[in-house]
Chain A
Amino acid sequence: MSTNRRGRTFRDYGSARIDLGNTRKRGTALILVSTLILMIFAARLVDLQAVQGNELASAALDQRLRTVELPAERGSILDSSGAPLAITVEAKNVTADQTMVTDPAVVAQALSPILGADADILAKRLTGDRRFIYLAKEVTPETWEQISALRLPGVFSEDTSRRIYPSGDLAANVIGFVGAQESGLGGYEYAFNDQLSGIPGKATFERGPGGRAIPTGASVRVDAQAGVDIELTIDRDIQYFAQKAIAQAVESAGASDGTVVVMDPQSGQILALATAPTFDPNYPTQSEQKNLNNRPLTSAFEPGSTSKVMTLAAVVNEGAATPYTPIKVPGSLRRGGKDFHDSSPHGMLNLTLNGVMAKSSNIGTILAAERIGGKKLSKYLKKFGIGQPTGLGFPGETSGFVPEHKDWSPTSFPTIAFGQGLSVNAVQVASVFSTIANDGLRVEPSLVKAIIHEDGSVEEPKAPMTTRVVSRDTAKQVRAMLESVIGEGGTATNAKIPGYRVGGKTGTAQVVDTRTGGYSNQVIASFVGMAPADNPRLVVAVFISQPQSGRYGGELGAPVFKKVSSYALGALEIPPTGSKAPKLALTFGG
């Protein structure tokens, strides 16, 4: 029977009847179960779509969506001709997934010569369970290509960029340097950090399992805005020459440091701002902290005799004397209960005002200054920009210090008259001489020539402030006196440039001992000059701090001035004027 029931016979249907009976119940059960399941499904569906819907949809999108930051390229710093002083280039960070490195020793051995790193240290960094570790930062793309060609398992790269200073220490004190993530830490890299950095963009796109963007997927892209380029007034070649000259002078004099400022007196533009010793911004950490500073702006010192230019210009401008005015200069002068002397002892001298300048007589300067008094002198110092910010906006810049006239002690007036008891920075002194060079009109110094935006538009900084300090005629007379300094009987005969008329002033300022508060035996030897003296196009200021061999501005500063000026005159194509220097008398027959 049972066999029959399973056969394909008519009777088979009959036997199915038994199953049908069960099927009905089973059907009911099936319906119930499936209804239940469907209800569960429906409930889950409602849960997924309505209750958690938005959350899940965004989570899913998040899974596909990838947002990458588009880094903004840091702007360059250029010299006045557009030559790069600081640029950003592509670089790679070499990373590793330690779990994927099977044989750290072998991988380390292969990487060691390429990265120039010790194999043992690399092997240590390749051993462990960390999924991400840096092996080397900011290597060149070529280095990475070499590594990538080895197909080392577990060694990866990461895109990054690197700040390079192709000319090494050239103008490093002005440019500054950057730290991690290319953030400016010193100099203009720091001062202009926000503008140089630009604004990073971002790209959001849906990506497939392979990581490639899905072409039809949603994508948003906000382009990065590159940082601006900053064009400095620095002339790369003059800067290089000045830097080399001052470094040699500092070394041969055994000095602690030195500074050269080259300025265009007509525009106020600083063509070179050199200091030695300096640093290589490519490796700022390898340098001493003090060498990272921009000394010409950040260090203040007492100017000494170069300051006499201001005093005597004030005297001439007030009509209190002319270059020919005779001044009887005694060997010693008592003022405010103190005896003042000249650098070398002498008896009574019959000097003209011009002679006072040429011989750099302290006593003569005090006597001349007394013709106008302290109040007027104080006013002139301020007009010359002493004790005022230079306007360069340089980080860490010092304004120097001149005590207010009402605070002057009885010795203040005679001391300040010949350049002690007040402090200045190197650029301020260069600016004083630029004022005389520019016919008495002071043009605020500048270091930034232009700011170039990403779209190529050039933004020029606002025109520098100008102040009339002394009259054109006064400036001319002072320049004639400055020529006497270089002439026969002056203190800086070795500043002479054959064929050119040169004017300038020496300085040998005493340095304050910070421990005792009094003057130490150390000096700052300086020479500040201009050429051509009858139509100055160039002002060069040289300062050599604490020389061990040599002492006077004429012997240490003047040769550097001559070297730098000779080069700059040629480089800037400034021909000699062809006129003859006036011969002003230094003494008078008395």
Chain B
Amino acid sequence: MSAAPQLDHSLNAPSESVTEYATRGVRRRTRENLRLVAPIRVRKASRGMFVIVLASILGVGLLGMLLINTTLAQGAFTLSELRSTQAELSRTEATLTESVAALAAPTVLEEKARSLGMVPSSTPAFIQIPSGKVLGKPKPAPGARIATPANATVGEAAEVPSDSGLPVAPGENYDPAAADAQRATGEWSEPILIDSQVISQDLTLDAIAVE
């Protein structure tokens, strides 16, 4: 039972204050409506401008930041891309340098020269210019004779170096009559290239290597 009056009280008491609040609320709203008519319009217009200005500043700022960041990021990307290109190029360069160095090694050069039929000279000699005097006592380099092509002429065969000083014979298919005819007509016969395969087969490389 004691709960009822309490309830009543609680019901009553708010009703007064509600009224009070309500009145206050109405009063305030009225006051605002009255006072703010003119200024609101002015303020609305200026605030609009202000917002636009702010927004555009903000927008420009943001865009600027975005642009700068993008550029920087782009730059970073380009940089790392270029770095990797640079790394790749320097790698290629290093590889090439390495292979040049390896190919230029005396061992390799000697091997190549020998495979072309070349032999080291055993006696140094010099030709003095302009007298044409030979300094030193040159000797033909030791080594096997290089085969002459089957249809080589005497002259062509003689151009092929020989170790022995023996007269160099023309190739077995050499036809003197044809050569004479050529000579008569003045027709020039192309020099015959010696097949390197033939050379290396005919050379006894081991015999040259050991003096």
Interface of A toward B, CB cutoff 8 Å? 10-11, 13-15, 17-18, 83-84, 87, 89-90, 140-142, 164, 166-168, 170, 212-213, 215-216, 236-237, 240-241, 248, 497-500, 559, 563, 566-567, 569-570, 573-576, 578
Supposing A13-B18, A570-B124 touch, asked if A90 and B101 sit within 8 A by C-beta, the answer is no
Mark B108-148 against chain A: 1 for CB-CB distance below 8 A, else 0: 00100000000011111110100000011111000000000
> Bound state CA distance, A497 and B136, in angstroms?
9
Among B106, B125, B128, the residue within 8 A (CB) of A170 is: B106
Asked if B198 is at the interface (CB within 8 A of a chain A CB), the reply is no
- Binding stretch for chain A, among B37-45, B53-61, B92-100, B186-194: B92-100
Asked if B72 is at the interface (CB within 8 A of a chain A CB), the reply is yes
Q: Is A573 touching B126 in the complex (CB atoms < 8 A)?
A: yes
Among A84, A567, A576, the residue within 8 A (CB) of B136 is: A576
- Binding stretch for chain A, among B73-81, B151-159, B162-170, B173-181: B73-81
Q: Is B18 touching A14 in the complex (CB atoms < 8 A)?
A: yes
Chain A residue at minimal CB-CB distance from B77: A212
Chain B residue at minimal CB-CB distance from A89: B94
Supposing A15-B14, A17-B17, A140-B95 touch, asked if A166 and B101 sit within 8 A by C-beta, the answer is yes
Chain A residues with Cβ under 8 A from B104's Cβ? 83, 166
Asked if B13 is at the interface (CB within 8 A of a chain A CB), the reply is yes
> Bound state CA distance, A576 and B10, in angstroms?
136
- Contacts A17-B17, A216-B72 aside, 20 further interface pairs with beta carbons under 8 A come to A10-B22, A14-B14, A87-B98, A89-B97, A89-B98, A140-B95, A141-B91, A141-B94, A166-B102, A248-B210, A498-B136, A499-B136, A499-B137, A499-B138, A500-B136, A566-B123, A567-B124, A569-B124, A574-B124, A575-B135
Chain B residues with Cβ under 8 A from A84's Cβ? 101
Task: Tell me, rounded to whole Å, the shortest Cβ–Cβ distance linking A96 to chain B.
Answer: 22
The B contact surface, by secondary structure, is helix
Among A13, A164, A569, the residue within 8 A (CB) of B98 is: A164
Asked if B211 is at the interface (CB within 8 A of a chain A CB), the reply is yes
| B interface residues, tally (CB under 8 Å) | 42
Q: Is A498 touching B14 in the complex (CB atoms < 8 A)?
A: no
Among B22, B72, B95, the residue within 8 A (CB) of A142 is: B95
Task: Tell me, rounded to whole Å, the shortest Cβ–Cβ distance linking A216 to chain B.
Answer: 7
Chain A residues with Cβ under 8 A from B126's Cβ? 573, 575-576
Q: 5 smallest A-B Cβ distances: which pairs?
A: A166-B101, A499-B136, A570-B124, A240-B106, A17-B14
Among B11, B73, B94, B135, the residue within 8 A (CB) of A90 is: B94
Task: Tell me, rounded to whole Å, the shortest Cβ–Cβ distance linking A555 to chain B.
Answer: 14
Q: Is B101 touching A215 in the complex (CB atoms < 8 A)?
A: no
List 16 A–B pairs whose Cβ atoms lie within 8 Å, in order of A's numbering.
A90-B91, A166-B105, A167-B101, A167-B107, A213-B76, A215-B76, A236-B106, A240-B107, A498-B136, A499-B135, A566-B121, A567-B124, A570-B121, A570-B124, A576-B135, A576-B136
> Bound state CA distance, A575 and B139, in angstroms?
15
Chain B residues with Cβ under 8 A from A213's Cβ? 76
Asked if B21 is at the interface (CB within 8 A of a chain A CB), the reply is yes
Q: Is B76 touching A87 in the complex (CB atoms < 8 A)?
A: no
Supposing A499-B125, A563-B211 touch, asked if A14 and B136 sit within 8 A by C-beta, the answer is no
Asked if B90 is at the interface (CB within 8 A of a chain A CB), the reply is yes
Asked if B201 is at the interface (CB within 8 A of a chain A CB), the reply is no
Asked if B15 is at the interface (CB within 8 A of a chain A CB), the reply is yes
> Bound state CA distance, A559 and B122, in angstroms?
12
Q: Is A87 touching B97 in the complex (CB atoms < 8 A)?
A: yes
Q: Is B135 touching A578 in the complex (CB atoms < 8 A)?
A: yes
> Bound state CA distance, A242 and B100, in angstroms?
23
